[in-house]
Structure 1
């Protein structure tokens, strides 16, 4: 599929593109959105959800981006890794922070698999 550029987008897609550009203060939307635009309902639902989840809240924006980055690494999404690394760097992530996120992500993946493989029962102290 080819990305749907603004000039070629139907009105409902243009409305989402406009909201993305306004919210993120960017001149154009990135390729992820241009490909989701093939299904306008999915485009709108996904943007609305991301906008809500990534909005200012109890968790600092940089921490949110680093969480998104860690999950993207775990899921093996190259596009998402690139996108959220760039966003985290823009929000202030240093090389040292990136390295630490990668170390924690790698360790969590390893120990999660070990716990699953060994079928480790949950300790009573962890219940709740």
Structure 2
């Protein structure tokens, strides 16, 4: 259960700052769907606008990484951080951007492998090889 009330579309329509962000989310994503995270953040309109602007600037702007790869990275970081909501949301987004079942399976294996080896290296306190340092 959320710690704040999720804002309905009718409530959002009555708050110009929230309506503007919800309208932009719909336009950028080409969908009428507004995720619950945005509905929760809408309780703080300036925070909603700031968060959406940041997400849009990283996830929706042109760049060297394609949109599917960005979503797959988001899945990995969300899994590492234990954010179930984000794992679900970005898995759905990655699938919508073309991630196959095979790619998803490989991604999960990489996430699991990285978690294991990160723990081993951290536990062993292995020093970084000088060859890996930027000079």
Aligned equivalent of 2:37, options 32, 35, 44: 32
Q: Where does residue 81 of structure 1 map in the other structure?
A: 87
How many corresponding residue pairs?
A: 128
SS at match of 1:4: coil
Q: Which runs of 4+ in 1 moved over 6 A?
A: none
TM norm structure 2? 0.91
SS at match of 1:115: helix
Unaligned runs of 5+ in 1: none
Unaligned runs of 5+ in 2: none
The answer to whether the 8 A contact 2:74-2:90 is kept is yes
Residues 6-52 of structure 1 show CA distances to partners (whole Å, capped at 9, x for unaligned) of 21121111111111011111113111100011111211111001101
Query: In structure 2, how many angstroms separate the alpha carbons of the residues matched to 1:66 and 1:51?
Result: 16
TM norm structure 1? 0.95
SS at match of 1:21: helix
Q: Where does residue 10 of structure 2 map in the other structure?
A: 7
Query: In structure 2, how many angstroms separate the alpha carbons of the residues matched to 1:28 and 1:88?
Result: 16
User: CA RMSD for the aligned pairs?
Assistant: 1.0
Q: How does 1:29-108 map to 2 (within 5 A)?
A: 29-54=34-59, 55-108=61-114
